[in-house]
Amino acid sequence: MIPAVLHWWKKIKAYLVLEDGTTFEGEGHGAQAEVTCEVVFNTGMVGYPESLTDPSYNGQILVQTYPLIGCYGVPSMTVRDSYGLPVHFESERVQVSGYAVYELQPHPSHWTCATDLESWLKEQGIPVISGIDTRALTKRLRTKGTMLGTLTVGRGAPPPPPTGVAGGSPRESTSHVKNVTIRAPAVYNASGKKTVVMIDCGTKYGILRGVLERSIRAVRLPYDAGLDEVLSYRPDGVVISNGPGDPKECAPTIATTKGLLEMGLPIMGICLGNQILALAAGADTYKLPYGHRGQNQPCVDAKTGRCYITSQNHGYAIKGESLEGTCFSISFKNANDGTVEGITHSSKPVFGVQFHPEARPGPGETGYLFDEFVRGFSQ
């Protein structure tokens, strides 16, 4: 009985308060800190190391709907592939601002485990709340839409509800793209015979690897790289990456993309990059009520009728009707809500997808899209 009592006294209180006043009280882990940002949920059962390091989550509080998190621990960042990229992570650090789970497993078991999830998040300075009803929280967000939330660890009383609306939160600022974009150009696989420029709005390493594995030389440029800078590398094709926030805030990227569309270079847009392609062509985007985040989103190919299970992480989508009169048509639709999941150019080797063909985590059955992109400049 004594160890149990002592453990009870060691518990740190944590609170998650939504902007509508809904309050969740639980146990605190990680950093003793307070953060206020958009609260979003992910429906995946596994893949938390990849999700937590996905730059598209920068500046968000992530809620896991699956109840048991941390069962296989956290692998080592020192395990790298032949390109120098960490095998088990999508960036070099945790990108979320806060983390909410039902149960945080303290004793992981897996042959790749280097540390437990709680220790890793504490090292990374991320506040965590566990022991809350994540199902009720998810249902709240699905009913009322994405909201701001304040997560606090180590405070004696719950904080007041955050003011404002999620659409006007710091999450929507281009500063988050600035936080995750590369600071200076970087070249990978310099011996590749073909060159792809990646406009980095928050590139997942899985996307970079998806290009490199096809014997391509990849040049990674900051999100605000101008057209002249992109063309100075004499690219055979261009990838516009995923990233956090509202695509309309990425004005420099949209301007560069307009120029690239006029030149006719092969382009592949992924997630945020898909939305930027649409905006560059004169279409429009909008904020989804609660977004699509998880590894189980069904998407239907408009051409073949085949349904793919995809990995997704986005809070915005393209307005389908706004594509009328542009050079793009819809290539994929979400089978759940009918939202646009992909667009393709009418005459040029240019396309975008809202889902993640590289997965990481999730099913890799749409990885063939990287082959389609490469075929656009390899023939």
Query: Which residues participate in catalysis according to the annotation?
Result: 271, 356, 358
Q: Where are the alpha helices (DSSP H) in the chain?
A: 2-10, 48-52, 117-123, 134-144, 175-180, 205-212, 227-231, 251-263, 272-280, 368-378
Round to whole Å and give the CA distance between 182 and 50: 19
Biggest CA pair distance of the chain: 73
Cβ neighbours of residue 284 closer than 8 Å, sequence gap 6 or more:
278, 318, 319, 322
Round to whole Å and give the CA distance between 181 and 184: 9
Residue 40 near residue 291, CB atoms below 8 Å: yes
* CA distances to 65, 125, 318 from 33, in Å: 23, 8, 36
- Sign of torsion, CA 344 350 353 354? negative
Assigned token pair, 310: 């995809």
- Phi and psi at residue 85, to the nearest 5°: -95, 140
For residue 237, what are the β-bridge partners?
196
Q: Which of 313, 66, 318, 232 is nearest to 219 (CA)?
A: 232
